[in-house]
């Protein structure tokens, strides 16, 4: 790795026990990531410490007791479906608290170990879980639980959660919509599941401006994401100046993903990660990575590898998956970016026009 960056991974085999037949959020996702990290040589350059599952208090700092009670009850009965997309089996509650615990452990390393780059290689993912509802493949909101832990255990004031999963992080938005201490940034395909994430949703009350949604039309690729990043994401982080950045890293905006319609490449993820590294260094904010979605196993594994290389300051010489095999015309997003720069209170330095 570049310089003295130490990669620290958090993983547990319990993540493999959460499964449902033919569901896209399946154990092969994290198996594939670990295989690709091994094949690339990156796995052996990482340390993999033990960690503890999230506690009830840590969960309840974000979620209602009723939500967690319902997940545990369903698991104790052998499992079932929360909704058409979201399942629980006998091991899901244990996997969920382990995933949240891995995210917490990643935050602990980021805030206590100089030059460390921690990554929580977890499932089930978390960014759709709201305070009161498990949904969208998600049971507990891992990034939100980790952010609250950073504030409570480490006395961190401002946290940014940066979510580039192709789906809007509605759960993260709901949890922090009234909280000015957490900047929730989401770049996502729009309109798309779960139907939220319009750019006019900017936070409320004292938190007006602390939600930044970047709703991108289907077909966007590297140049669109990088344009949005440089014009919106970087200025927002520089203005908010978080003391910790949590990257909610989904890789379903890759062109191979079967559930979405974006055209990002592995090289595009590497470039975004490198830009995030530059900004994080400028504002002296450590970064922790928490896995979210991504349903093509090769894109998921190579995307995470590229992200870690970019955040560590390392070059990536070959995009293992290349350019889109059937490219679609990319939409023109400049009008959206202009309107957002003009209207969003975090970007225009004023009170906004909403």
Return the half-sphere exposure (C-beta side, CA atoms, 13 A cut-off) of residue 222.
Answer: 14
Residue 52 to residues 42, 73, 101, 112, 321, Cα–Cα distance (Å): 24, 22, 6, 17, 36
Q: Within a 10 A sphere around the Cβ of 261, how many other Cβ atoms?
A: 15
Q: Locate 55 and state its tokens.
A: 């506690």
For residues 68 and 85, give the distance between their C-alpha atoms in angstroms, rounded to a whole number: 18
Helix 65-76 with 92-112: angle, nearest 10 deg: 130
CB distance 239 to 346 below 8 Å? yes
Give me the CATH code for the 6-321+328-348 domain, please: 3.40.800.20
Angle at CA 191, nearest 5°, toward 186 and 195? 75
Helix, strand, or coil (residue 295): coil
Torsion sign over Cα 178, 180, 181, 183: positive
End-to-end CA distance of the chain: 45
Give Cα 353 distance to the centre of its chain: 29
User: Could you please report the per-residue DSSP string of 312-346?
Assistant: HT------TT-S-SS--PPP--HHHHHHHHHH-HH
Q: Does the pLDDT at position 229 exceed 90?
A: yes
Q: Locate 184 and state its tokens.
A: 């929730």
pLDDT tier for residue 354 given thresholds of 50, 70 and 90: very low
User: Could you please report the per-residue DSSP string of 88-103?
Assistant: EETTHHHHHHHHHHHH
Torsion sign over Cα 207, 155, 67, 15: positive
Q: Does the pLDDT at position 352 exceed 50?
A: no
For residues 48 and 58, give the distance between their C-alpha atoms in angstroms, rounded to a whole number: 22
Q: Within a 10 A sphere around the Cβ of 329, how many other Cβ atoms?
A: 6
Residues with active-site annotation: 128
DSSP 8-state assignment for residue 264: B
pLDDT of residue 3: 59
Q: What is the pLDDT of residues 276-318, one digit of tens each?
A: 999 999 999 999 999 999 999 999 999 999 999 999 999 999 9
Helix, strand, or coil (residue 151): helix
pLDDT of residue 350: 62
pLDDT of residue 99: 99
Q: What is the pLDDT of residues 231-265, one digit of tens each?
A: 999 999 999 999 999 999 999 999 999 999 999 99
Domain-by-domain residue ranges, the chain? 6-321+328-348
Does the pTM of the predicted model rise above 0.95?
Answer: yes
CB distance 199 to 190 below 8 Å? no
Q: What is the pLDDT of residues 105-156, one digit of tens each?
A: 999 999 999 999 999 999 999 999 999 999 999 999 999 999 999 999 999 9
Q: What is the pLDDT of residues 169-189, one digit of tens each?
A: 999 999 999 999 999 999 999
Q: What is the pLDDT of residues 47-100, one digit of tens each?
A: 999 999 999 999 999 999 999 999 999 999 999 999 999 999 999 999 999 999
* Phi and psi torsions of 176, nearest 5°: -115, 15
SS3 track for 194-238: CCCCCCCCCCCHHHCCCEEEEEECCCCEHHHHHHHHHHHHHHHHH
């Amino acid at each position: 790795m570049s310089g003295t960056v130490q990669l620290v991974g958090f993983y547990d085999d319990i993540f493999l026990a959460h499964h449902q037949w033919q569901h896209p959020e399946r154990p092969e996702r994290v198996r594939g990531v670990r295989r690709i990290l091994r094949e690339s040589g990156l796995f052996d350059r990482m340390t993999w410490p033990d960690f503890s599952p999230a506690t009830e208090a840590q969960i309840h700092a974000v979620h209602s007791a009723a939500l967690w009670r319902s997940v545990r009850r369903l698991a104790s009965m052998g499992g079932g479906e929360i909704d058409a997309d979201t399942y629980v089996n006998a091991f899901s509650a244990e996997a969920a608290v382990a995933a949240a615990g891995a995210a917490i452990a990643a935050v602990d390393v980021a805030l206590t170990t100089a030059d460390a780059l921690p990554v929580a290689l977890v499932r089930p993912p978390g960014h759709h879980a709201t305070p009161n509802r498990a949904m969208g493949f998600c049971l507990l909101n891992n990034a939100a639980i980790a952010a609250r832990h950073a504030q409570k255990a480490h006395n961190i004031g401002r946290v940014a959660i940066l979510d580039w999963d192709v789906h809007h992080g509605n759960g993260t938005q709901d949890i922090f919509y009234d909280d000015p201490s957490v900047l929730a940034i989401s770049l996502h395909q729009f309109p798309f599941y779960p139907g939220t994430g319009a750019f006019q949703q900017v936070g409320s009350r004292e938190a007006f401006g602390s939600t930044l949604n970047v709703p991108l039309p289907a077909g966007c690729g590297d140049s669109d994401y990088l344009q949005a990043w440089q014009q919106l994401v970087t200025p927002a982080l520089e203005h908010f100046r978080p003391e910790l950045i949590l990257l909610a890293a989904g890789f379903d905006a890759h062109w191979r993903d079967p559930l979405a319609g974006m055209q990002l490449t592995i090289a595009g993820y590497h470039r975004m990660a490198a830009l995030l590294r530059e900004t994080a260094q400028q504002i002296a904010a450590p970064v922790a990575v928490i896995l979210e979605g991504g349903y093509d196993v090769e894109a998921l594994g190579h995307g995470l590898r590229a992200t870690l290389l970019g955040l560590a300051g390392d070059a990536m010489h070959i995009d293992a998956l290349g350019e889109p095999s059937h490219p679609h015309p990319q939409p023109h997003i400049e009008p959206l970016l202009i309107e957002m720069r003009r209207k969003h209170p975090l970007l225009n330095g004023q009170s906004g026009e909403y």
